[in-house]
């Protein structure tokens, strides 16, 4: 069997995913454009949702684990007075309620009750596996199963009125794993009726915001691999320590490892060599990911895409 060639393109794309395609579809577009098989994303967006999707290419795919858990920010609209089978506008209406008396102040009070550390039941249209099958696969077959509530954190849940008294605009900052469609449904229930979500847009993953996101068809450059560690502390090492890093050796915290980690290890040129994490020994850190390929970013011929030489 022929051995698969190692990737030659490495970097991170901050994509503004359009509506109508899956996150996997977006990955496929970049995989074909770059001619690379090793491409992945951090944090699935529903097909109807738009906004920030982080896509790793080549060695950057090994760092997606540090991006997936980053907090997220979303904006969208909550439509009062009707529930749907999918908790959003794509589903069939399953209930109608008279909620004309709901005010924005009432909605804000209800949102406060859904802020902080809460437990949330994943919707049937989610990708979570139960009994070896994804929930959305079961939902398509008309099967509904019991789902265990999961702990999530809603850091901020802002509610504003719109020109339509039955539609509220929301702005949510939350932990990874929070379902905004479930928040919309829970808000409707807390107001004594029902509601569903529409127009969901993710505006940030950690420090990556919609302001730097590029439409999928206009991605003509990648950020360097080190950008994946943007919100993490970086420790610069000399050539001698770099050789230890390349061999997966543990390092002493005295080299500049402060806090709880993980830490990115970079050389004098700002090239990411590895990611290290804590150990049970207080004065040592250990490799989590060691990169053995160049992390220089791919740069296209033209367009809005951009590359960065350092962070």
CA separation for the pair 248, 195 (Å, rounded): 52
Specify which residues 171 forms β-bridges with. Answer: 75, 158
Backbone phi, then psi, for 157, in 5-degree steps?
-140, 90
Q: HEC states along the chain?
A: CCCCCCCCCEEEEEEEECCCCCHHHHHHHHHHHHCCCCEEEECCCCCCCEEEEEEEEHHHHHHCHHHHCCCEEEEEEEEECEEECCCECCCCEEEECCCCCCCHHHHHHHHHCCCEEEEECCCCCCCCEECCEEHHHHHHCCCCCCCCCEEEEEEEEEEEECCCCCEEEEEEEECCCCCHHHHHHHHHHHCCCCEEEEEEEEEEECCEEHHHCEEHHHCCECECHHHHHCCCCEEECCHHHHHHHHCCCCEEHHHCCCCCCCEEEECCCCCEEEEEEECCCCCEEEEEEECCCCCCECECCCCCCCCCCCC
Catalytic annotation present for 46: yes
Catalytic: which of 16, 46, 88, 186?
46
Catalytic center residues: 46
């Amino acid at each position: 069997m022929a051995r698969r060639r190692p990737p030659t393109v490495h970097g991170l794309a901050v994509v503004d995913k359009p509506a109508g395609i899956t996150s996997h579809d977006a990955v496929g577009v970049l995989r074909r454009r770059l001619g690379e098989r090793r491409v992945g994303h951090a944090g699935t967006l529903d097909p109807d949702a738009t906004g920030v999707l982080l896509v790793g290419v080549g060695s950057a795919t090994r760092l997606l684990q540090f991006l997936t858990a980053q907090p997220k920010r979303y904006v969208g609209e909550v439509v009062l007075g009707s529930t749907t089978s999918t908790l959003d506008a794509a589903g069939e209406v399953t209930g109608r309620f008279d909620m004309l008396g709901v005010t924005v102040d009432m909605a804000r009070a209800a949102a406060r009750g859904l802020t902080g550390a809460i437990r949330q039941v994943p919707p049937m249209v989610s990708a979570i596996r139960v009994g070896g099958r994804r929930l959305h696969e079961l939902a398509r077959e008309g099967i509904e199963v019991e789902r265990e509530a999961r702990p999530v954190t809603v850091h901020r849940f802002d509610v504003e009125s719109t020109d339509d008294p039955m539609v509220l605009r929301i702005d949510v900052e939350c932990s990874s794993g929070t379902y905004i469609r479930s928040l919309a449904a829970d808000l409707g229930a807390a107001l004594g009726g029902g509601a569903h979500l529409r127009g969901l847009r993710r505006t940030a993953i950690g420090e990556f915001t919609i302001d730097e996101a590029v439409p999928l068809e206009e991605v003509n450059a990648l950020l360097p691999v080190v950008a994946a560690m943007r919100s993490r502390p970086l420790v610069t090492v000399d050539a001698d320590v770099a050789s230890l890093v390349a061999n997966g050796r543990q390092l002493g915290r005295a080299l500049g490892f402060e806090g709880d980690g993980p830490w990115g290890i970079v050389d004098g040129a700002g090239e990411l060599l590895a990611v290290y994490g804590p150990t049970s020994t207080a004065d040592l850190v250990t490799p989590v990911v060691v990169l053995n390929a160049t992390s220089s970013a791919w740069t296209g011929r033209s367009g809005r895409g951009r590359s960065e030489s350092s962070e």
